[in-house]
Amino acid sequence: MTLKVKVCGSCGEFVQGFFHGAPILITCPIEKFSTVTISDEFFGIEGLGEKSLAMLKKTLEFFSVPKFNFGIRLTSELPRGKGMASSSADLAAVAKAVALSLQKNISAEKISEMAASIEPTDGIFFSGVVAMNPVTGEFLKNISVPEKFNIAIFDYGGEVDTLKFNRRSNFQISKLEDILNFELVEKSALANQEILYKKSLAEIISFAKNLGAVTVNVAHSGTVIGIFFHNDDKNIDAKISEIAWRFDFIKFLTKTRLGIRKKN
Predicted confidence band at 263 (pLDDT cuts at 50, 70, 90)?
Answer: very low
In the prediction, which pLDDT does 164 show?
62
Q: What is the mean pLDDT of the chain?
A: 94
Q: Structure pTM? A: 0.93
In the prediction, which pLDDT does 165 show?
62
In the prediction, which pLDDT does 260 show?
76
Distances (CA, A) of 73 to 37, 49, 68, 90: 5, 11, 13, 11
> pLDDT (tens digit, 9 = 90+) per residue, 67-125?
999 999 999 999 999 999 999 999 999 999 999 999 999 999 999 999 999 999 999 99
Could you count the other beta carbons within 10 Å of the beta carbon of residue 1?
8
What whole-number distance in Å separates Cα of residue 151 and Cα of residue 34? 19
> pLDDT (tens digit, 9 = 90+) per residue, 142-162?
999 999 999 999 999 998 876
> pLDDT (tens digit, 9 = 90+) per residue, 22-33?
999 999 999 999
Predicted confidence band at 261 (pLDDT cuts at 50, 70, 90)?
Answer: low
What whole-number distance in Å separates Cα of residue 14 and Cα of residue 8? 15
In this predicted structure, the answer to whether residue 174 has a pLDDT above a threshold of 80 is: yes
DSSP letter at 172 equals B
In this predicted structure, the answer to whether residue 243 has a pLDDT above a threshold of 80 is: yes
Q: Express as a percent the part of the chain with pLDDT over 90.
A: 91
In the prediction, which pLDDT does 170 show?
82
In this predicted structure, the answer to whether residue 264 has a pLDDT above a threshold of 50 is: no
In the prediction, which pLDDT does 227 show?
98
Q: Which of 177, 129, 102 is nearest to 12 (CA)?
A: 129
Q: Which residues of 51-75 are buried (b: 16+ CB within 10 A; e: fewer)?
A: bbebbbebbeebeeeeebebbbbbe
Q: Express as a percent the part of the chain with pLDDT over 70.
A: 96
Predicted confidence band at 56 (pLDDT cuts at 50, 70, 90)?
Answer: very high
